Amino acid sequence: MGAVFSILGIADVKRKGEKMETKVIRMDPAQIDQETMKKAGAILKQGGLVAFPTETVYGLGGNALDEQAAEKIYSAKGRPSDNPLIVHIAEFSDLDRIVQEVPEKAKKLAEAFWPGPLTMIFPKSKEVPYGTTGGMETVAVRMPNHPLALALIRAGGGYVAAPSANTSGRPSPTRASHVEEDLCGKIDMILDGGEVGIGLESTIVDFTEEIPTILRPGYINQSMLEAVIGSVQIDRGLISSDSEVHPKAPGMKYRHYAPKANLTVVEGTPEAVQEEIRRRTREKIEEGFQVGIIATEESLSAYPEGIVKCIGTRKQEESIARHLFGVLREFDDSGVQYIFSEAFDTPQMGQAIMNRLLKAAGQQKIKV
């Protein structure tokens, strides 16, 4: 694997700008190739970009303390530069350098959930450039629970800014092939560590509010947080039906994860949902359109028409979370104009799954 670099030096890769060659390197998370990891770290230290797996989704990493690296991230993703990046660390003690102070409750959450799918927001220190925080006085920090992510952060100097490694607006990547689709030719390296475990981005908790506030729901839900620190609230912008109330996390206001097709979510009892999806599918097919359906193992056989994709099983809600973004991407390649999806108000991750699904649907929902 190290041979890659003797053929094509890192400096050469950087000079190529937009048309750079992106090295895709497969690495077993249980058997880290230290040589290659050192090279990946060197790319970050020199201001380059490396995509890597985390337990949630793949991230697009750059040195968080280097304003120009942040600029490169925005440009590779085509992301609005007012949308701040999450800084990833590998040691709790590294937090001090980038934040002003860490409240007791945040320490407790870190103890309970780091490394893990939790991001916390604090007032930033001077060391964090505004380029990384999208001009904000606060910084979002997370310690991911993935051996390749932790090794890369350490090799890269300890502070890695990483948004999800997708083109802005597309579904977040849960496999290295998704990253390749979106970012090949625009970044220096992709570390391919296989499919991610969770499949939805981290829960974001804002510690700059009186009461710790969830800005983005994820695998770690409100009751899991409250079991550790007591009362936690949910950003009004996330749950309000009033379109004047904006979410506090800038990224939550963009139409995200948007598939090319028109997506509608159908909510209700299983029988009523299936009947409604069958009826609407028939209607669209008669109008001459191609239709996709997002179903589960339990409901697959209820749909005789359309391109039916199985997202997972309701008996294991994790399977639904893990496959959501991948299924949306598959439909982009399938040429359908309409997609109907069942709703997934599952017990633990339902809020996070429905948040992403409804965003992908531009909030189009039918209750039956």
- Chain residues binding Mg ion by CB under 5 A are 164
Least CB distance to ligand TXA at residue 200 (A):
8
How far, in Å, CA of 234 to CA of 73, rounded? 29
How far, in Å, CA of 140 to CA of 341, rounded? 32
Least CB distance to ligand TXA at residue 235 (A):
10
- Kind and range of the H or E run holding 363: none
Footprint of ligand TXA (CB under 6 A): 54, 56-57, 59, 83-86, 119, 121, 133, 136, 138-140, 142, 144, 162-164, 201-202, 204, 215-216, 248-252
How far, in Å, CA of 12 to CA of 53, rounded? 25
Least CB distance to ligand TXA at residue 107 (A):
19
Give 167 or 334: the residue with its C-beta nearer to ligand TXA. Answer: 167
Least CB distance to ligand TXA at residue 249 (A):
4
Residue 249 interaction partner, one of Mg ion, ligand TXA, none, beta carbon < 5-8 Å per kind: ligand TXA
Which of 24, 25, 29 lies closest to 182 in space, CA to CA?
Answer: 24
Nearest residue by C-beta to ligand TXA?
A: 251
Residue 59 interaction partner, one of Mg ion, ligand TXA, none, beta carbon < 5-8 Å per kind: ligand TXA
How far, in Å, CA of 253 to CA of 246, rounded? 7
Per residue, what are the HEC states of 210-252? CCCEEEECCCCCHHHHHHHHCCCEECHHHHCCCCCCCCCCHHH
Specify the 3-state DSSP secondary structure of 112: helix
Residue 215 interaction partner, one of Mg ion, ligand TXA, none, beta carbon < 5-8 Å per kind: ligand TXA
Residue 138 interaction partner, one of ligand TXA, Mg ion, none, beta carbon < 5-8 Å per kind: ligand TXA
Residue 351 interaction partner, one of Mg ion, ligand TXA, none, beta carbon < 5-8 Å per kind: none
Specify the 3-state DSSP secondary structure of 261: coil
Give 63 or 164: the residue with its C-beta nearer to Mg ion. Answer: 164
Question: E strands along 35-137, which residues?
Answer: 50-52, 59-63, 86-88, 118-123
Residue 329 interaction partner, one of Mg ion, ligand TXA, none, beta carbon < 5-8 Å per kind: none
